[in-house]
Amino acid sequence: MNRPEYLARFGPRHNIGVLQGAPSNGLCSVDLDADEWVDPFLTANPKLASTLRTRRSRGCNFWFRVLGECPPLTKLHHTTRTGTEGKPLDVGEFRSTGGQTVIAGKAEGVPYRIEVAAKPVEIGFGEIVWPDFIADPPKIGGNGALPVVATEGGKLDLGKLANVVHLDGGSTRAACPACRAAGGDHSGDHLLIEPSGRFGCAKYPSDPEHRKEIWKLAGARASDTESELEFARRLATVLPPIKTVGNTWHIYRNGVWQPFNSDILKPEALTILPESIRTIRRATTLLAHVEAARQTAPETFRGFHEFDGADAVLINARNGLVRVAPEKFELLPHSPGHCFTRQTVARFMPDATAPLFERVLGEVLPDPEDRNLFQICLGNFLFPDCRHEVALCCYGEAGRGKSTIADPVTAALGMDLVCRLSMSQVCDPRSYYLPKLKFAAVNLGTELTTTDIAESGNFKTLVSGEPIEARPIYGAPFVMQSACKLWFLANSLPRFKHGTEAELRRTRFLRFDYQPPVKDVTLKARLAAEIDGVFAFMVRGLQRLLTCIEIPIGGRESRAVHDRFRVSNDPVGAFVQYRCILARDAREPKEQLRNAFAEFSKRYELPAVCGEWFFRVLFERFSSLSETQPRIDGERVRYVRGIALRSSLTTDNTE
């Protein structure tokens, strides 16, 4: 590989292929031709979720090293579907001896890329589970995939076997004693024993007499005194990764812990029991033992992200764990130890781009400061806590691109990470809707009510990430702490009945004011095709956020909306800030304050009702003020002590 004349033969148009099977010491792969086959295959083979995985335009290749004997190159066909010529539909291939797979380069302009960068796992061929949609799984020795047989609760005695090799996952490969007795199995690896005790011979998989001979030579039947606990422990060794919380079971599949019904494990529990005591009641009891042994605290589980050290964030994406630090990011294999219960729909592809998304973003938000604020807020959706205390409000008339730019973001995150509660539902003091936010990344409210929102306590608590009491409609109240961020698409600004500076400080506004000359009905569908690039855009926003002290306000138009909200949400506070000064020795006639506030309300188009409670709110908000009635020219005049109106010149310069 170091000779110049040899290397000169390779150019940029050459690909790198790997000979598989025997030439590569058992390095094989399963090539699936379509994305729809990937998840079912991983569900059947969770161990392969952490192995090397490559992809070009569709489907993928799972790479692994087979320990012992394995079949040659085999075509895989669908059980029921047919292709264009009426023949069984090609699903993919088992790539082994006689085949090769391209791992680097391009085909038809599309590059081969690594989806999961990991070492190929080592696995016995008999450990591979072929999903039901595959009609013709690969066969060892031409006699079919290796079967396994129940052993009446007993196990083979490994001490009576030769060439015993313990495989990853708990299975065992050994020489078949029946073949050896007949002068065969010179390779010494015909026999496969699963952790449950079931076994089979690769040479004679369908011969019951051969299995009886194996049992006769090496069997060790379970004793009558074997306890339920011992059977339960044996069951636990053959189950996938499981955690339980009370009577709720969680199984680890494809990078996430998912709730599931434990009844689907009863067939597995029945096979553990000897036939003489095999009953549903005993199988249920074994599962109860497993449930008790796998109990986990509810707080063990988390959503889709967590901190990894002081300055890095770990995000559970569809194709692995993304570790994001200020200066770099990397893709790691999924791992059950992180206890994630959600993941993004989008894959993390470091070089992925979203040119159409960024072009449309530039049209609807022409100010670079606004685009910077938007990207940082998207990064905030991926941040594991709420220390920045910011909700995002995209404000503008209908048809201005708010939902057009929001849809690919929510598609990249996926339905499991996006809630859609309105502002009134978020602020509902009964808190019935809040449990939906526990593990969500963002709540996207698509409208804001034009009536006053009576309570803003929930809004402020959620934006700050503080503990809050939530109550399912048919459940008991509980205290939760969520990192869910709030995002609203609004035609009008929110109005809190008792608004203060607190809502203003916790909200960022983006003004959408661009109306396309012609409506493009295909635009949203084309944007949806860029979700991997949109997710990469969000990750870069998270990198910016990791170096921010505070999330910025935005450009000129967005700052104007921010100032407008300051007045509409807290008219009295804005009036005092813009038109008054507070001083212990100051005083102002009450009537002049009322008239000044009326003029202020007219200028900012505030509803007339604001004047009705002006003084009540003024005295509640500014407790240092007090009412006094000095005698002037023989008459008592009502004054407010501690406040005075600014001069017209000062007022004009202040607002």
The more confident residue out of 407 and 458 is: 407
Average pLDDT estimate for 267-281: 88
Q: What is the pLDDT of residue 354?
A: 96
- Tell me the C-alpha distance between 358 and 315, whole Å: 23
The CATH code belonging to domain 4-127 is: 3.30.2250
pLDDT (tens digit per residue) in 541-571: 999 999 988 999 999 999 999 888 889 888 9
- Tell me the C-alpha distance between 154 and 173, whole Å: 18
DSSP lists the bridge partners of residue 259 as 250
Q: What is the pLDDT of residue 484?
A: 95
Q: In this predicted structure, which of 247-251, 258-262, 328-332, 452-456 has the lowest mean pLDDT?
A: 452-456
pLDDT (tens digit per residue) in 452-466: 454 567 888 889 889
Q: In this predicted structure, which of 116-125, 259-268, 427-436 has the lowest mean pLDDT?
A: 427-436
The more confident residue out of 260 and 648 is: 260
pLDDT (tens digit per residue) in 512-539: 999 888 888 999 999 999 999 999 999 9
The CATH code belonging to domain 355-559 is: 3.40.50.300
- Three-state DSSP class for 655? coil
Predicted confidence band of residue 187 (pLDDT cuts 50, 70, 90)? low
Residue type, 427: C
The CATH code belonging to domain 570-654 is: 1.10.10.10
Same fold, 355-559 and 570-654: no
Average pLDDT estimate for 415-429: 87
Q: Return mean pLDDT, the chain.
A: 85
pLDDT (tens digit per residue) in 85-113: 778 888 999 999 878 898 988 887 788 89
Predicted confidence band of residue 9 (pLDDT cuts 50, 70, 90)? low
Give the pairing type, strands 391-395 and 485-490: parallel
Answer for the pair 527, 359: CB distance below 8 angstroms, yes or no: no
- Tell me the C-alpha distance between 413 and 193, whole Å: 42
Q: What is the pLDDT of residue 126?
A: 77
pLDDT (tens digit per residue) in 126-165: 778 888 788 888 877 543 333 334 344 467 877 788 888 7
Q: What is the pLDDT of residue 635?
A: 87
Q: Where are the alpha helices (DSSP H) in 484-555?
A: 501-505, 523-528, 531-545
pLDDT (tens digit per residue) in 200-211: 776 776 577 887
pTM value > 0.85 = no
In the chain, where are the structural domains located?
A: 4-127, 155-220, 228-300, 355-559, 570-654
φ/ψ (deg, to 5) at 514: -100, 125
Q: What is the pLDDT of residue 46?
A: 85
Nearest of 378, 372, 370, 356 to residue 524 by alpha carbon:
356
Asked if residue 335 has pLDDT above 60, the reply is: yes
C-alpha Rg value of the chain to the nearest Å: 34
Q: What is the pLDDT of residue 142?
A: 41
pLDDT (tens digit per residue) in 587-597: 999 999 999 99
